[in-house]
Amino acid sequence: MKAIRRKWIALPAAAVLARLGLLRGRRNNEQWTVLERYRYAHRGLHDDALGAPENSLAAFRRAVENGFGAELDVRLLADGALAVFHDASLARMTGKEGVLEELTAETLRQYRLAGTEHTIPLLREVLDAFEGTGLPLVVELKSFRNNAEELTRRTVEELDRHSVPYCIESFDPRCPVWLRKHRSEIVRGQLAQDFRRRPSGSGRAMDWWMTNLLFNGAAVPDFISYRFEDRDNYNLRLCRKLFGVRTFYWTIRSREELEQAERDGALVIFERFIP
């Protein structure tokens, strides 16, 4: 009887330990001391009224001029070049149909951002704008179909050519997993939100795993970048309290939200106002 009782007590204990193993992260990466000094302009310090669309060189130069770091989105083109652009679809930002990943670096110049003279920049052009400033970047990897590993590898190779502080994050856990295996010194993060409210299209089971950060066990991230509105997530709190995993909140759109985020100890990715 005692043996049976011990067995049933061990089952929930094992479940707790298994859950914690899935949530683990890495604490105290020394590069965090640089990252935590700054606030980060979402897709650059963009302002359509000033002719500086999101993820344009003009928006990134405005961030530099105002002393902010920046968050940006990186996608892999058909010729292996890296472009800074958020959507896979070209329609919202260029008014033209098509998929960004089917373009080449040469054809990017045919597409204007939000009706301005600005074109879709290459990652190396944005890095040139930040070179020598000491201002850091939050580099979000936008995987497409099955290109996560190649996207991550090529992005790291481009970053190696520049002297710009940075961290790398992605919704796709394959990207931080690749970093853990091949470039463990790089500060890596897992992007997340409540996918039950905003389904990813990958199915309910995958959305549940991603919402609750259950790929952390494979990626062992330095930080979690979580949607500000969805931050009341129990597993997110466990990551912070038990493993010392740091946090970004996105996207902060008011001074009140900024103050709340920083009271929570999170770094902020902001837009639509200047802190």
pLDDT digits (tens, 9 = 90+) for 1-21: 444 444 333 335 445 545 667
- Beta-bridge partner residues of 99: 89
pLDDT at 216: 95
Give the mean pLDDT of 73-81.
Answer: 98
Give the mean pLDDT of 31-51.
Answer: 97
CA-based torsion, 200, 204, 206, 207: positive or negative = positive
Give the mean pLDDT of 78-103.
Answer: 98
User: Rounded to an integer, what is the distance from CA 139 to the centroid of its chain?
Assistant: 6
pLDDT at 227: 98
Place of tokens 């995987």: 143
Residue 197 has pLDDT above 50, yes or no: yes
pLDDT band at 121 (very low <50, low <70, confident <90, very high): very high
Report the chain's mean pLDDT, rounded to a whole number. Answer: 93
pLDDT at 12: 58
Strands 82-84 and 69-76: antiparallel
Give the mean pLDDT of 261-268.
Answer: 97
pLDDT at 20: 65
Q: How far apart are CA 201 and CA 139, in angstroms?
A: 23
Q: What is the CATH number of domain 30-87+122-270?
A: 3.20.20.190
pLDDT at 142: 98
- Beta-bridge partner residues of 119: 112
- SS3 letters for the chain? CHHHHHHHHHHHHHHHHHHHHHHCCCCCCCCHHHHCCCCEEECCCCEHHHCECCCCHHHHHHHHHCCCEEEEEEEECCCCCEEECCCCECHHHHCCCCEHHHCCCCHHHHCECCCCCCECCEHHHHHHHHCCCCCCEEEEECCCCCCHHHHHHHHHHHHHCCCCCEEEEECCCHHHHHHHHHCCCCCEEEEECCCCCCCCCCCHHHHHHHHCCCCHHHHCCCEEEEEHHHCCCHHHHHHHHHHCCEEEEEEECCHHHHHHHHHCCCEEEECCCCC
